[in-house]
Amino acid sequence: MTIIEKGLNIAQTVAHGASRDYPYNHLIRQRPESYRISNPAPENTLDDLLSVINKDGASLKPFKSQLGIDKTEILKFYVAFADQHRLPFSENLTQILKQAEELVGTIEHKFREKGRPITITEQLNIALELFKGDLSKALINLAVATRAVARGCDTRLVPQIPTPPSRILNWQKVAAPFGFSPHDEDPAGDTYHFWEAMVLAISACERDGLYNRFTGTIAEFMGRITPEATEILRHKICRKEGKTHPEADILGFEIGKALALILPTSQ
């Protein structure tokens, strides 16, 4: 596939993502008093995640060279739910996601066991255990799986994750809130926005060679304008309902960039 074709695919997914309704939009709110634990404060998030990552000496595998997932594949996922368009996803990506349902189920089990929401630090710990310390696979699965169960709009990508309304509603209680908007909290939405922004940032930092530098610049630009672009394209132009998650987007993107700089890359 040429770079022009890849660019057209991204443009197509952006258009579909901005113009399509979310079938379960009415399920994405929970009352603030149901929260009993929050994610770490933004200034502590990197240290908290590193405490989990470093205990097993995890390193990042380059998404493209080792996992076969290039930036256009990440961007195609990032800009629209899988059920909003008909573009295919690569076999490399779908193979990595084979245990996505097991990841969600394990997080839900931990929620029932502890009787409280599960923080992003705990979610990462669960994912690293499931994927045997493979941080790249853990993060990609967290991004895809938490979004799938939060919105129920990614059945083409992860058909193994059933998302009846009851599960989507319960996931709002499973995912710990960030505390960005105490009176209008969407912990499930903030959670997947955080993870997918991390994945996009790490992918954007892979800049070996001219092509990767070019696509990395585009990926970083798109990551940084996500809230504004959503507001303009989806809410104002297409007049669709929805909620932006600027704090989660920014936090996830900056944490992802930091990890890409700090952690060793396995070759």
User: pLDDT higher for 140 or 4?
Assistant: 140
Residue 2 domain flag: no
Task: Say whether pLDDT at 14 is over 50.
Answer: no
Q: Which residue from 143, 125, 133 is spatially nearest to 263, judged by alpha carbons? A: 133
What pLDDT is attached to residue 52?
95
Task: Say whether pLDDT at 232 is over 90.
Answer: no
What pLDDT is attached to residue 165?
95
Task: Say whether pLDDT at 51 is over 50.
Answer: yes
Task: Say whether pLDDT at 116 is over 90.
Answer: yes
Mean pLDDT, to the nearest integer, of 217-243? 61
What pLDDT is attached to residue 16?
45
Residue 108 domain flag: yes
Task: Say whether pLDDT at 204 is over 80.
Answer: yes
Residue 254 domain flag: yes
Residue 11 domain flag: no
Residue 164 domain flag: yes
Mean pLDDT, to the nearest integer, of 95-106? 98
What pLDDT is attached to residue 226?
65
CA separation for the pair 229, 234 (Å, rounded): 8
Domain tally, the chain = 1
Task: Say whether pLDDT at 205 is over 70.
Answer: yes
What pLDDT is attached to residue 120?
98
pLDDT tens digit sequence for 37-50: 789 999 999 999 99
The C-alpha R_g of the chain, in whole angstroms, comes to: 17
Mean pLDDT, to the nearest integer, of 168-197? 91
Residue 14 domain flag: no
Predicted confidence band of residue 216 (pLDDT cuts 50, 70, 90): confident
Residue 107 domain flag: yes
Predicted confidence band of residue 207 (pLDDT cuts 50, 70, 90): confident
- Interacting residues of 51 by C-beta distance below 8 A, sequence separation 6+: 121
CA separation for the pair 48, 54 (Å, rounded): 10
Q: 100 is in which domain, residue-wise?
A: 41-262
What pLDDT is attached to residue 7?
52
Predicted confidence band of residue 89 (pLDDT cuts 50, 70, 90): very high
What pLDDT is attached to residue 56?
74
Q: What is the mean pLDDT of the chain?
A: 84
Residue 162 domain flag: yes
